Structure 1
Amino acid sequence: MTGRTPEKGQSYIEALDTARCNDSWNDVPELVRKIEKHCPERRCLIEVARTEYHVVSYLNKRPNTASTGSGSTETKLHDLIPGLLSVMEEEGSLPQDVFQAQVCLGWLHWTLSEPALASSRLPKDFDVTLRRLFGDEQVLSPWTEHAVFIGAAQALVSGPEDAIRTFKLVLPWISAPSSTSPSNPQFLFWSEQLLARAALLASEAASEGPLANEQTAEFALKAFRLWAAHRNVQQGDPASDVVITAPASPGSRASIWKAYYTYLSSTLYQVAYTSPSESQRRVQLTTEIRRVEAICENIVIKNTTFPKAEVKNTEVEAWVEQFIQNWEVLCGSGWRDGDFGEGGHDAFSRNVLDMLYRAATVTFHSTLILRRLFHVHAALAEFNLAIKALETYIDLTTSAKARAKKSPEAAGELEDNETFALTLSEGITMLSCFGSYKEAKKAKELTDMLQKLLDELVCNNSTTNSTKPPVSEEPTAIFSHGETLSPTTFSIAYRAIGIGLANWARWTPINEARTDIQTDGIAALERSLTFGSPEETDVASTFALALLLAETRDIDGAIDCVRTALLSAQSVDSGAQGQSHWVSIKERDLVPLWHLLALLLSAKQDFEAANKTCIAAFNSVPSVNFLHEPDEKLSQHKKQDSGEKAAHWLSAAAIEESRGTPNEMEAREKESIVELRITQLKLLEILHGPEYALNQSEDLLSLYGRLFTDLEFDRKNDPKRSDNLIPPKSSAGTTRSFRGSIFGRRKSVKYVEKASSFRIEPNMTPRVPSTSSGGVSIDPDAPTIQVTDEDRPASSEHPHTAGTGGSTQHRIHRRDGSMKSIRPHSLDRTARSTRPNTIKKHKRQNAGENSPISGDVLPQADRSEDPPSPSHALTRNGSHKTPNEESISSCCPKSNLLRWGQFSRSVRFDSPTRALTRFPKVQTQIHAHGLLIKIWLFIAGLYRHAALFEDALEACNEASEQARCVESLIAGQESSARAFADSGWGGTKSSDELWGDVYAERGRLALATARPYDAINHFEDALMYYPDHISATVGLANLLLDIYDQTLPLEKSEPDLDTNTPGVSLLSYSSKFEASPKPHDGEPTQGSGGPSPSQEITPEALDRLAARDRAYGLLSALTKLGSAWDNSEAWFALSRAYEQSGQINKAKKVLWWCVELEDRRPIRHWWNVGSGGYVL
């Protein structure tokens, strides 16, 4: 019997451990009695079990117990302390029993709200005790393992450093326990509490203090991740706000989830969170943030009720601000698509957008949520929705302020004026960056509203009766109701006002008001600079001011502004590292500043200095410089700069390592670099001739290939597509490489004598077509001009601005035998036969009209040239061999430099927040193709100037191929006339405008080869696509005016005319009119007062008058548009039309205006500095 007693006692001890682990505390008193009977020597264990039973009973009864009863129970708990202390000091107690007694005693003190005593009762060296327990050969009992958790949880109150050290010892055992403990309720309970408390403590220690280092940050993240993976957490309700009553209880699960998300948010800003495996860590972090974010959103939405109309849900709005701040960081320039897993930036931003709309369901007219909807929609390039959100925000804010003036009590909480002013500024900047005429008009409305807001707020005594504060006053102001705006807000607001006014001055159709608008814009930008820091120049305001001064021909003032900004950039960059304001914009804005300075110097005819400025620009930004160098040089530079600080984005090592990383350049920067290179080549052409510029232009395509290496069409689903792609062929029929097809020709070619000298003219940016009628008043009885092309109707989006009529007597129309394609967007435009526009009598006999005359297909340009002189008017019959028709999928030529591709990089400019604006994939591809078209047309112009006409034609054909690519991309989304004519947001040209550029360059090439009638055809084609095309309009108008003054014959001679045709040849008409005296300047003409009585009115005379009147209508309408207000070629052609119509005074005024425009005209137009206009 005595031999069986230890075995029975041991079984009772095991049963006691099992009961305590399984929360079967009702069985503990009976088991303690049996152990006391069979194993009386285990007094320590017996006393510990009895004390734990009383502690648990107290914890279970405390919530429902009155205060008096609670006090008596606490007295009973205090009475248990001496017994525990006595058994702990007895000899013969097992180490595990003594450890359990120490932990139990600490638990009792913690329950009695005595954390200091609880900490003192634990082992002095808790980590040493744990090592001794785990190091013994004896297997630990299950409850001893639980006691480790209880003791570790209590050890957390002894101090962060000791607690973290203790937890690191327990963490491996929690991660992979060796016993069956994970299934025990007490193990799950205490391990959850320990992980939560340790995670909270470590996250606090990692944010500040001596423990704020990478190790503590990793420790906190690991603790949060283990807690989130805990079985109780995964199976429980995350939105539960029940606080567990236990030692070192961290609080409710909902509060821990929020703390988890807050700590993840802080890691986005902490430099300490870095690792060699950065890419994998970034993916893990973004995935973790999205998962925890969804749980926290569920907690907030579930625990929030819809408020009353006058109450704000501050908790929801605080949550919105928190995840929006994370979104701004994750969707900024430091993170790439690969860091987000599937969907990239777009999926993450759209998830944030859904969260905002769900948050709006538990708030009432939250201006914060509306403002953030405006920000996120703008970052997703959904500008129409962004404007709607902004308009709703403005309506709610202004209506609330209006109610507050009447009844302050009924208005509720108002949006503060500083936030309102900043939001208006953001809206103006966004509309000015990405919009066109319609958006510029909307930005002008917001500008007026912002100006009115500032005028109402400013109550400075010296400016009480002034609507505009003087520039000289100090940058401080007193406001009504005790409110103040910070100088930074003032600077941003006045900058937005200046940008909005300058942008409206660019687009306004009222030429008389443009000067006043520009003056107000300059004053606002200067006002913005007065509120800036005296130690640091506001680069954005300075750039906008310099560009506006340049447009108003204040070249010296603009140069001073740019130089000030560049000097400030150099001083800030050398004096501060990556955290300075200048480096925060990544110095990428240096390129537009240098570019603007080069154009300003070219406007002063200092071409050498302008060229040196371009060189300095490339040298100042190593990321640009390395793009020009061969691969071996790049690797050498990378080795040389490997010791540089990797954080500096301009170091060679950082540039090379950043390719394919978040630091790679955006499309905005790439476009600025390409534009700067084009300007440099234009300067080289002036300084050394077109041949020298051509020799240097090979780097332009190479540069584009390096910049846009991640752009390619999706060929995975079409294995046959690559077979359809053929490299372009030279004029000799030999297959060449992408670069060699254009630059391989170095032989001289025979060509006809050039016409007049080629003039360098500015490129003009696209514009919204005007629907206003031309400036010519037409007599209803007089013959009118009509372009008839029944097979190709004009686009409804771009109505022609010239005055046209429906006369059945005389009109300009095409030969019936030269039929166009029915759809203007077909891909076989280069295969269409071309024929001259002839001015003929409407009821002329059809003899000879069915014999079309096809001319060479020639490339497009952005500028018009003077028409050739009569002595150079040569005719060339025969048609150029056009490329074969290809399918839409094979519209782009192969290239060893370019790999057309899917990508979702930001095209230009930042959104109103720190998040970048990322356009849809199709629009980014269209933008990249449009930039390549511009490059090819520029190269075609260089070849044309060098009289290498065959190579110019090849370059034009390459541009046509890219135009087809653009057309196919648009057709894949929406195949409609509106889609082809709509340029959309972001300054990208529409498909129709790109085709207009191509055909305009073909017309200029036709003029260079003395084929004016073919040039007329190409200019007509350009206007058919884009009715407000500047260079095509000017080129066509000049040719029409040549026809009127008989410099150009009325029709092209046809040597193969039928012998039976009546004798009405062009030569007979031409000789008749050459013999007739021309009217003097003061004499009336058909357009102004009718023909001279002595002159016979013939059909040919009416056709010439129609040509002149049409030219006048085109030019008059064009010069009324904002896109051509400073185009000297258009105004000069208009003065010529005035002169030929006998309006000498008007001609003189226009010529003086041309002199002013030409006085300080840059080598290229100011708008080529950046497609964002005045926004840097």
Structure 2
Amino acid sequence: MSVHKTPNPEKGARYLGLLDQALCNGSWSDIPELARKVDKHARERKCLTLAARAESQIASASHRPASASSATSTSLHGLGEVVPRLTEAIGAASKDHQDDAFVASSCLAEIHWLREAPTEALKVLDEIVGPSTSSKSSAGTLGWIEVCAVRNASIRAACFDSLGRQSEARESYQAAVVKTPGYRTPELRRWTSKLLARACMYSVKKMPSPSLQDFNETYAAFRAWGDFWQRAGPVSEKSSTSHFDIPRRQVWKAYYDLLSTILQHGLLHAPSQDAGAFILPDPSIAVEQRQSSRQRQRAELKRVEATYESLLLEETKFPKASQTNTEVEEWTEQVISNWRVFSGSAWTDTDVGEGGKRAVSRGTLDILYRAATKTFHSTPILRELFTVHAALGEFDLAMHAFDSYIEIVDKGKARAEKTGKHEIGLDSDDTAMTTASEAIRLLCRYGDREQAEKAVEISKAMQKWLEQRRPASPEVSLTNGDSAPNGSRPCSQPTSSVLKPETLAAAYRALGVSRAHWARLTYEAESQRPTLAEANNNLKRAQKYDTDSVETGHALALVLADMRDVSGAVEAARSAIQAAGQAQQSNGASPASAIDLEKRLIPLWHLLALCSTAEDEYETAGHICEAAYRQFGGSKVLFGDSTTSNSSDPENSVAALRGIVDQMEGFEKESLIQIKMTQILLFELTEGSEEAIDLTAELLSLYSRLFGKPEEVVAEIIAKPPQTAASHAPSRLGGTLKSITGSIRPRSSRSARSSGEKDATRQRSLVSVDDSLAPPSTQNVATSTNGQIAGPPIAITVTNEDGVSSEKPHHRHHLPHLPFQGRGRSRSTERRISEGDEKAASEEKAIPTPQNAAVSEEKRPDQPLGDMAHNAPHDQWPPPPGHDDQPPQQDMRLPAPHPANANTIPEPQLLPIHERRHRVSVLVKAWLFSAELYIRAETLDDAESLVHDALKLTESLELELAQSEDGSNARRLFAKGWGSGKSIDELLADVWSTKALLLLGRERKHEAMAAYEQAISYHPDHPAGIIGLSNLLMHIYEEKLSAEQPQIPVQPLPSASGSLSLINEARPTLTRPGSAATLTTLPSRRPSVVVEPEPLELKERKIDPSPAELNRLAARDRAYMLLSNLTKHAGWDNSEAWLSLARAHELSKEIDKAKQALWWVVELEETQPIRPWREVTPGGYTV
């Protein structure tokens, strides 16, 4: 045999290298043969070959599948036969071959550890002598020595942990984290991965409390784990792991959980990689460094998220119908929790990186759809799909997901009621009820009539759920498809008795909102009041379960206002505002949460102001409107600070300009516009229309700050790809867009008034805002909330076609202002105004005060602050403005978790078409509001310019809708559909109705009637159009207005032939009905109301009415029909409609009905605000 041959040292060295390579690569099947060859050619390395054979046996025993646990246990105990031989070999090789003894000792320690003998393993490790530094001694085994060193560290730390020696285990793991081993060979990577995995899981398991220091220590371990796998690359498919190892998926899940917890607590990565701490609280990081820190945090979370997801989906199989993949559902719940933080107001689009928040939402949707491929009828995933689709403004897809969700939940609840047992995999009753409540809120806030009907159906399902019987014990569960044994039914109880109070509050609030919303849209007049009463009862029940809810308080106050219970509405609104302030102070909410609460209070302040106007307390209403803005703490806080707009760094300049309005959504911005309109109307009531028209510049400036300059809005709609012949759909009114950009700025040539007259008239102003609320001057650059640079306010000047000013001098705007900016006054005038305000404030009734309203004169929060070093000691910082008794103190506690509710939908990011429609709707509303104000001030040229621009802008939006993928049809133009704003037809109806008012102001009543006809042709239930047209029709019946527009005679031109004079003589004479007088002059703009009575004998002889009489009767009857339908539906609470209806009854000799209508007018006017209740917020009964 070959044993008797002489050893070959060269072959021995080569086989030693191959053996080392096989050990490092985990090629255990090659070990016996290579060990035999090493024994043949390098007989002095007996200790190494014995350890190599033992390693092969260990691998064979420990890599068995988990199902063969008994056989594995037998194999591991069989390794005990190797222990004496290894011990003997170690003693023999410790002098001449120190590295071989080191390798054998490491193998022996692993055997003791696998045999669950940590004490013996530690004893062996303590006796190990480190590997020799001699290159001769370690020739050929350098790779496996490195692996053994890492293995020794891992076994040593695991033994310390097993024996309860926590301090030593902690030191061992920290040492491994500080100096991460390599990854050059498979076995080195395996043992390094095992060591880091144990370090990560140990830090998570032994973290005593979620403090900042513990987070940093735990994060250091996971960061080393993540960096290691980022360098090591993907795992080979041939590599095998022992069932004693911690699964990589488990470590990555713990890593993701840690990052999620850090995110939920508002912690960020340190700006510098060399910082002493990895994680820091958000406020402790400088503003200029916060963005980069958040971007790195988002990138790391996204990387870990992708790694764990790939492992989860790869290792998870599709479940059977009777099973659920709990880990997949829990994973999606965590993803949604993080998504809520990224989509919240605390993070901006720049913070989350490329694509902004919409890209984050899209990525979340992809995760949910991939997770759905590993689940079967998962209600959590359907619920989350509904939430994310709704947040993206994809409301149809969201409701498709919700329909599937509610179908599964409803059937599951029915089976549970029948069997008396819970079903595994279904959402809990609280979660299902809260999700249905959110669906109703979504439908009522962003939907149209069709969606309101859907909300009513969901509310009926919720009512059924509340009355269903549920198992009394949650431990009793039933798998899908199973039935109760022996037909037994455990004791049950109503669902309403097992729900949490906050769930019951949300459920009854949703029921109340759905009923109240339907009361506004129903065509059945007799059911409106009972429906409102039902909504009132549900909202009061909701308030019993959650007395501090702003949403419930707002909905209840608005319902009471609709029911004409103004005093009750005032009490409900005031209680909600005060409760919100007290809750904010007692809970110590974060700044972001406080701002969110203040934004939700805006509609309540506005509602409270309108209630005050209904009680004729206009001065109080003015102060309440001011309080709605003052609650934010000042103009610079609300609108941003433009004092640094001239900075050399544009990025820092834009960041400095940002205010709270830049964090607001479309509905919240429109609420600010609505309050400004109310302030202007209050000013008009006290000062007159001539004075109030000066405030329209502030209204348009406010729009520019919130939504962007009107020119940009128009340009965004016009700048579309060139349309093809197939997609071309011209406007129904035949309008063109060639001059809309140039005409977007209405112009005026009003003459200036004296400054003394202005000061005298403004001393009684109700909208005189405190200087602390004045936003930055228009001389500085201000940015709109969509990133545009807002220029100066719109200058309003109207000229004739030849460039000459209009026919009569009007009032001219003085220097333009930003909204709520104090207008120019002398010091003595300001002193008189302040004294008058103090006197008025002392006499007015008490109203809720915003939390930030009281600010000292010396240190106002809007004063600019000097530069402060980021690392300055906290005891050297000056007290915050207005808080001298609260000096800054260093707080080492962990911030509270992010307050995002797990069951609420973030404010949706509307689709581009919906967002543009909303912006156009608000702009048209502001223009038409200003136009009506100009009409009342008899400044008709300015009004005409605004109406013209509003018409062109609406037609351009109609053209954009026609060029969209879905195209335009009658239904899409008439119905608003999803989103915010008004429909195209309703906008056109508003424009034509205002145009009719303009024509009435110019005594062109027949043209006004045609404009009213155009308005109701677009929107048949348009109140202003119907009322205006009906009044003109009744004028025709009363013969105050001719049925047809009189023809203006054409004056003949001089002609030699005399042909024109012959034609003139042949023209018949025009006569007015009831009079034989010939029209020899131009008809008067104001027709005579005097009608010559006909002799009684002639009336008695008449058999059939004349055509003129038929026209009069038809006009009266049509007016009655229009007004009757209006008061039964959309205008049931419109006092002007009822007044016109009373007039129609009177003209029809129905005196009793006229009296009833007039009494109803009196009742409505007793509780009528200066603006409709629907203008409080575009969200209806939701905030």
In the alignment, which residue of structure 1 is the partner of 2:1110? 1102
Decide whether the 8 Å contact of 1:996 with 1:1029 is kept in 2.
Answer: yes
Give the 3 Å change call, closer, same or farther, for CA 396–1047 of structure 1 in structure 2.
same
SS of 1:680's equivalent?
helix
Which residue, 985, 995, 1003 being the options, matches 1:992? 985
In the alignment, which residue of structure 2 is the partner of 1:1044? 1037
In the alignment, which residue of structure 1 is the partner of 2:1069? 1063
- Following superposition, the deviation at residue 375 of structure 1 comes to 3.0
1:268 aligns with 2:263: yes
Q: Deviations over 1:849-887 (max 9, x none)?
A: xxxxxxxxxxxxxxxxxxxxxxxxxxxxx99899xxxxx
- Following superposition, the deviation at residue 601 of structure 1 comes to 0.8
Give the 3 Å change call, closer, same or farther, for CA 972–506 of structure 1 in structure 2.
same
Which residue, 84, 106, 115 being the options, matches 1:79? 84
For 2:565 and 2:258, locate their aligned partners in 1 and report how far apart those are by CA, in whole Å: 53
SS of 1:1161's equivalent?
coil
Q: Deviations over 1:128-185 (max 9, x none)?
A: x899999x9999933332233223333442458766765666668758x6xxx62x33
Give the 3 Å change call, closer, same or farther, for CA 488–116 of structure 1 in structure 2.
farther
Q: Deviations over 1:1008-1044 (max 9, x none)?
A: 2222222122222222222222111111111111121
SS of 1:632's equivalent?
coil
Which residue, 581, 585, 589 being the options, matches 1:570? 581
Count of residue pairs the alignment pairs up: 953
In the alignment, which residue of structure 1 is the partner of 2:668? 669
Which residue, 1003, 1010, 1025 being the options, matches 2:1003? 1010
In the alignment, which residue of structure 2 is the partner of 1:528? 542
Tell me which amino acid in the other structure corresponds to 2:598: E
Give the 3 Å change call, closer, same or farther, for CA 1092–556 of structure 1 in structure 2.
farther
1:939 aligns with 2:940: no
Q: Deviations over 1:228-266 (max 9, x none)?
A: 4365635449xx9x75256xx212x44445444444443
For 1:558 and 1:55, locate their aligned partners in 2 and report how far apart those are by CA, in whole Å: 79
SS of 1:589's equivalent?
helix
Decide whether the 8 Å contact of 1:1126 with 1:1157 is kept in 2.
Answer: yes
- Following superposition, the deviation at residue 598 of structure 1 comes to 0.9
- Following superposition, the deviation at residue 453 of structure 1 comes to 3.8
Decide whether the 8 Å contact of 1:1132 with 1:1151 is kept in 2.
Answer: yes
Give the 3 Å change call, closer, same or farther, for CA 593–406 of structure 1 in structure 2.
closer
Decide whether the 8 Å contact of 1:628 with 1:703 is kept in 2.
Answer: no
Tell me which amino acid in the other structure corresponds to 2:1122: L
For 1:945 and 1:269, locate their aligned partners in 2 and report how far apart those are by CA, in whole Å: 54
Pairing 1:185-584 to 2, within 5 Å after superposition:
185-202=186-203, 204=205, 208=209, 213-216=214-217, 218-226=219-227, 228-229=229-230, 231=232, 233-236=234-237, 244-245=242-243, 249-251=245-247, 253-276=248-271, 277-280=289-292, 282-283=294-295, 286=298, 293=305, 309=321, 311-338=323-350, 343-353=355-365, 356=368, 359-360=371-372, 363-406=375-418, 416-455=428-467, 479-480=493-494, 484-532=498-546, 537-578=548-589, 583=594
Give the 3 Å change call, closer, same or farther, for CA 981–162 of structure 1 in structure 2.
farther
For 1:28 and 1:403, locate their aligned partners in 2 and report how far apart those are by CA, in whole Å: 61
For 2:1076 and 2:352, locate their aligned partners in 1 and report how far apart those are by CA, in whole Å: 72
For 1:526 and 1:124, locate their aligned partners in 2 and report how far apart those are by CA, in whole Å: 77
1:962 aligns with 2:953: yes
- Following superposition, the deviation at residue 1174 of structure 1 comes to 1.0
Q: How high is the sequence identity, in percent, across the aligned residues?
A: 34
In the alignment, which residue of structure 2 is the partner of 1:692? 691
Decide whether the 8 Å contact of 2:249 with 2:312 is kept in 1.
Answer: no
Q: Deviations over 1:693-720 (max 9, x none)?
A: 2333322222222222497656998899
Decide whether the 8 Å contact of 2:993 with 2:1024 is kept in 1.
Answer: yes
For 2:802 and 2:539, locate their aligned partners in 1 and report how far apart those are by CA, in whole Å: 55
Decide whether the 8 Å contact of 2:989 with 2:1022 is kept in 1.
Answer: yes
In the alignment, which residue of structure 2 is the partner of 1:602? 613
In the alignment, which residue of structure 1 is the partner of 2:115? 112
In the alignment, which residue of structure 1 is the partner of 2:1174? 1167
Pairing 1:24-103 to 2, within 5 Å after superposition:
52=55, 55-56=58-59, 58-59=61-62, 66=71, 70=75, 73-80=78-85, 82-83=87-88, 86=91, 100=103, 103=106
Pairing 1:604-1003 to 2, within 5 Å after superposition:
604-622=615-633, 626-627=637-638, 631-632=642-643, 659=658, 664-709=663-708, 741-742=746-747, 745-747=750-752, 913-973=904-964, 974-1003=967-996
For 1:930 and 1:608, locate their aligned partners in 2 and report how far apart those are by CA, in whole Å: 30
Q: Deviations over 1:400-435 (max 9, x none)?
A: 444455555898877654344333322322222222
SS of 1:1036's equivalent?
helix
Shifted more, 1018-1027 versus 1037-1046: the winner is 1018-1027
In the alignment, which residue of structure 2 is the partner of 1:145? 146
- Following superposition, the deviation at residue 555 of structure 1 comes to 1.4
For 2:983 and 2:391, locate their aligned partners in 1 and report how far apart those are by CA, in whole Å: 22
Instruction: Give ranges in structure 2 of 5+ residues lacking alignment.
Output: 1-6, 272-288, 473-490, 724-736, 755-798, 804-815, 820-899, 1051-1062, 1079-1088
Decide whether the 8 Å contact of 2:180 with 2:228 is kept in 1.
Answer: no
SS of 1:381's equivalent?
coil
- Following superposition, the deviation at residue 919 of structure 1 comes to 1.6
Give the 3 Å change call, closer, same or farther, for CA 541–66 of structure 1 in structure 2.
closer
- Following superposition, the deviation at residue 210 of structure 1 comes to 6.5
Tell me which amino acid in the other structure corresponds to 1:189: R
In the alignment, which residue of structure 2 is the partner of 1:1116? 1124
Give the 3 Å change call, closer, same or farther, for CA 86–108 of structure 1 in structure 2.
same
Pairing 1:1081-1092 to 2, within 5 Å after superposition:
none
Tell me which amino acid in the other structure corresponds to 2:1113: L
In the alignment, which residue of structure 1 is the partner of 2:826? none
Tell me which amino acid in the other structure corresponds to 1:515: R
Q: Deviations over 1:87-133 (max 9, x none)?
A: 69x56875x6676566444323222223454456546999xx89999
For 2:127 and 2:621, locate their aligned partners in 1 and report how far apart those are by CA, in whole Å: 77
Q: Deviations over 1:600-622 (max 9, x none)?
A: 11111111111111111111114
RMSD: 4.9
Tell me which amino acid in the other structure corresponds to 1:672: S
- Following superposition, the deviation at residue 273 of structure 1 comes to 3.4
Give the 3 Å change call, closer, same or farther, for CA 1012–881 of structure 1 in structure 2.
farther
- Following superposition, the deviation at residue 503 of structure 1 comes to 1.4
- Following superposition, the deviation at residue 35 of structure 1 comes to 7.6
Give the 3 Å change call, closer, same or farther, for CA 968–125 of structure 1 in structure 2.
farther
For 1:130 and 1:959, locate their aligned partners in 2 and report how far apart those are by CA, in whole Å: 86
Give the 3 Å change call, closer, same or farther, for CA 49–342 of structure 1 in structure 2.
same
SS of 1:273's equivalent?
strand
Decide whether the 8 Å contact of 1:370 with 1:390 is kept in 2.
Answer: yes
TM-score normalised to structure 2 length? 0.70
Decide whether the 8 Å contact of 1:546 with 1:558 is kept in 2.
Answer: yes
Give the 3 Å change call, closer, same or farther, for CA 568–102 of structure 1 in structure 2.
farther
Which residue, 1134, 1139, 1148 being the options, matches 1:1141? 1148
Give the 3 Å change call, closer, same or farther, for CA 685–482 of structure 1 in structure 2.
closer
- Following superposition, the deviation at residue 938 of structure 1 comes to 1.5
Pairing 1:10-21 to 2, within 5 Å after superposition:
14=17, 16-21=19-24
Give the 3 Å change call, closer, same or farther, for CA 633–1001 of structure 1 in structure 2.
farther
- Following superposition, the deviation at residue 633 of structure 1 comes to 8.5
For 1:271 and 1:410, locate their aligned partners in 2 and report how far apart those are by CA, in whole Å: 37
Tell me which amino acid in the other structure corresponds to 2:1021: D
